[in-house]
Amino acid sequence: GESVGLHLPTLSVQEGDNSIINCAYSNSASDYFIWYKQESGKGPQFIIDIRSNMDKRQGQRVTVLLNKTVKHLSLQIAATQPGDSAVYFCAEIGGYQKVTFGTGTKLQVIP
């Protein structure tokens, strides 16, 4: 999961395996969530989003799951590739379009 500490939590995954990255959000009134990918030296890049009236959404090789009961969001990456190595963080959007970003999880793909 994400951390407020100085060091990002790191998930190491073998190439070809599935990755699951978790995010705990804080505001039960948030109604829209986004996962971003940030490669080293680059800006965050939109991956996938989900609205609070859904519990699952699939994209190409990625799936986002939303559990509103425990305020938990996860990003699943199928058949992880070296190009997936990056920091992943979630964003929650609540009232007045207030956006809160998580601190991120570093995904390392082992060739």
Partner 1 sequence: NAGVTQTPKFQVLKTGQSMTLQCAQDMNHNSMYWYRQDPGMGLRLIYYSASEGTTDKGEVPNGYNVSRLNKREFSLRLESAAPSQTSVYFCAGDRGVGYTFGSGTRLTVV
Binding site for partner 1 (CB under 8 A): 3-8, 34, 36, 41-46, 49, 89, 91, 99-104
- Cβ 71 vs Cβ 33: under 8 Å: no
Q: Which is nearer to partner 1, 41 or 83 (CB)?
A: 41
Question: Rounded to an integer, what distance in angstroms lies between the CA atom of residue 103 and that of residue 111?
Answer: 26
How far the first Cα of the chain sits from its last, in Å, is 23
Tell me how far, at minimum, the Cβ of 67 lies from partner 1, in Å: 20
Q: Which is nearer to partner 1, 60 or 69 (CB)?
A: 60
DSSP category for residue 42: S
Q: Which is nearer to partner 1, 39 or 55 (CB)?
A: 39
Tell me how far, at minimum, the Cβ of 98 lies from partner 1, in Å: 9
- Strands 105-110 and 86-93: what pairing? antiparallel
Tell me how far, at minimum, the Cβ of 40 lies from partner 1, in Å: 11
